[in-house]
Amino acid sequence: MCGIVGIKYNNYTHNGLEIYEALLSIQHRGQDGAGISYMDNNKLEMIKGKGLIYNLFSYDDLKKMNGSVFLGHTRYKTNNIINSFQPFHLKSEKLEISFCHNGNITNVNKIEIELNNKYKIKNNNKESDSFILFQLIFYYLNSEVKKSNTISVSELNDYLCHIVEGSYSIIMHIKNFGLIVLKDKNGIRPLVYGKNKNNDCLVSSESCSLINVVDYKIIREVEPGEIIYFKNNSEEETHKCALSLFTPCLFEYIYFSRLDSIVNNISIYKCRFMLGELLGNKLLEKKLNIDFIIPTPETSRVYAYGISKVMGLPIQECIIKNRYINRTFIIENKETIGENIKRKFSVISEVVRNKNVLLVDDSIVRGNTSKSIIKLLKDSGVKQVIFASAAPKIFNTNKFGIHIEQKEELITYKNTTNEKIAKSINCDSIYYNDLNEVINTVHELNNSINNMEISMFQN
């Protein structure tokens, strides 16, 4: 899972301030590194590297950028490839492309064989799945442009839908042709576009980029298996693969997407509030002795609102977050998570002392973060901690872009019952939302979603 953004301006050049704002709004989708590319006087320029967006691009850098097409990427690391920061760039005698990808390709070996057999391209096992996918697209289009000086988006789309397995949302700029966006046949990762009054186009992983950039209005989500070609003459060409089957990732609604985003016509805020109500109804049946609800900052707050509405319990904001510490879920070295929790959170002891509390979080993956927070609460004098997860139990790794490398890492691997899970994180009891009920809630909000990517929740 990464964040990607593209802006295509019509008939004039622009600086990099808008692409920066659009990219900054999806910083939550990746904190390992970032990059921006742009065309300046028909020459591609690029700044990219390790770190957070605001550390990589100065105001002066952004003001000096001068282009009509910009691409941006923020990286969430799911492999050990060093310096695999995007956008990527490839160039031949007749073709030049810059490229951004969000997702994870699961049949890299097959694509490498195709690259070798068809285009004589060999890789050395040091390239990311994103770059290998980019090579496939580049050399396919390069051979097409050599023959006819044109690009057939329908043929490219059908080719990718047949040969590539996994998840991909892609934005790429082809010099002298235009901007192309496309999504895998299952539409696993989100991608949305909008336009302003000048007919400029902004494409992003999430709608919050458009909401926060002045004067862009959302047009629609790119559909599963769809390719859209925004030509340099402002015309658009679209094509949808016949193999498409709408199967978005459930975890986007539970955790990844930003609270103010609209994903596949579903308000993330509304969805999470309803999942909180769902969890509240389950807890209400248990007749638990709870003084108040504590949301784990910050992604669980809306779930707590939903629970509070159903159970009639107050919410206490007694866990204080240091906003300058990054997401612990994405920390590469799992041994340092406990240390980072101490830096990231503190508890207001006088509020929680001798209380029975309901601790709410969006999910529990490995349990390291939850265990550390519960320890902070109990060290602060809490009498009883009941833990509630808005997400269903996570049983499996995810091969579509979520960084869970091994099934053995998960808290559910060794702990086969709720009682064992509760004991392992030192809470008094634990409750989860039911998978089928969560799916039904999403379906209620958009009845065109009949299938969901739920492999990480299946035992």
Q: Which residues are catalytic?
A: 2
In angstroms, the CA 134 to CA 126 distance is: 14
Structure tokens at 14: 């622009």
| 8 A C-beta contact, residue 253 and residue 272 | yes
CB neighbours of 254 closer than 8 A, spacing ≥ 6? 272, 275, 362, 363, 390, 391, 438
Q: Which of 145, 200, 133 is nearest to 170 (CA)?
A: 133
Structure tokens at 340: 């980072």
Structure tokens at 419: 């009682």
| 8 A C-beta contact, residue 111 and residue 132 | yes
AA letter at 91:
K
AA letter at 68:
S
CB neighbours of 364 closer than 8 A, spacing ≥ 6? 370, 387, 389, 391, 394, 411, 421, 425, 430
For the chain, first and last CA: distance in Å? 22
Range list of H helices, 319-445? 337-344, 349-352, 368-379, 411-414, 418-425, 435-445
AA letter at 19:
I
AA letter at 97:
I
In angstroms, the CA 5 to CA 352 distance is: 43
The string of DSSP codes covering 129-166 is HHHHHHHHHHHHHHHHHHHHS---HHHHHHHHHHH--E
Q: Which of 393, 402, 398, 396 is nearest to 421 (CA)?
A: 393
Which DSSP letter does residue 67 get? B
| 8 A C-beta contact, residue 215 and residue 209 | no
Task: Determine if the peptide bond prior to 224 is cis (ω within 30°).
Answer: no
Collapsed DSSP state (helix, strand, coil) of residue 394:
coil
